[in-house]
Amino acid sequence: MSQSITLSVRVTPRAKQNRVQPLEDGSLKVYVTAPPEDGRANEAAVQVIAEWLGVKRRDVEIVRGATNRNKVVRVAGTGAGTPPA
């Protein structure tokens, strides 16, 4: 049976570089260089989160907040566990 975790994420588009910043409350702040147009920032955020967690891109899904900076992301797969510090 596959495990999954749900993360609260705040995405900042048009950043200088792609990166993930864990916050004290357990949520993530994700900076992406992509603009918030045509879903490009969402796609970039999913890719950055997948790389940061070490899971495949297809295992990361935005489940809420597709048109908002604040998102809920589900990460499925055997690599899903506690996010790195």
Q: Which residue has the tokens 């996010």?
A: 83
Q: Has residue 85 been placed in a domain?
A: no
Q: Has residue 66 been placed in a domain?
A: yes
Q: Has residue 82 been placed in a domain?
A: no
Task: Yes or no: say if 45 and 14 are a contact pair by the CB < 8 Å rule.
Answer: no
pTM: 0.87
CATH number of the domain to which 54 belongs = 3.30.1200.10
Q: Has residue 81 been placed in a domain?
A: no
pLDDT digits (tens, 9 = 90+) for 40-57: 999 999 999 999 999 999
Domain that holds residue 32: 4-76
Please give the tally of structural domains in the chain: 1
What are the b/e assignments for 7-23, b being 16+ CB within 10 Å?
Answer: bebbbebeeeebebeee
Distance CA 82, CA 85 (A): 9
Residue 41, C-beta contacts closer than 8 angstroms, at least 6 positions apart: 11, 13, 32, 34, 35
pLDDT digits (tens, 9 = 90+) for 2-33: 688 999 999 999 999 999 999 999 999 999 99
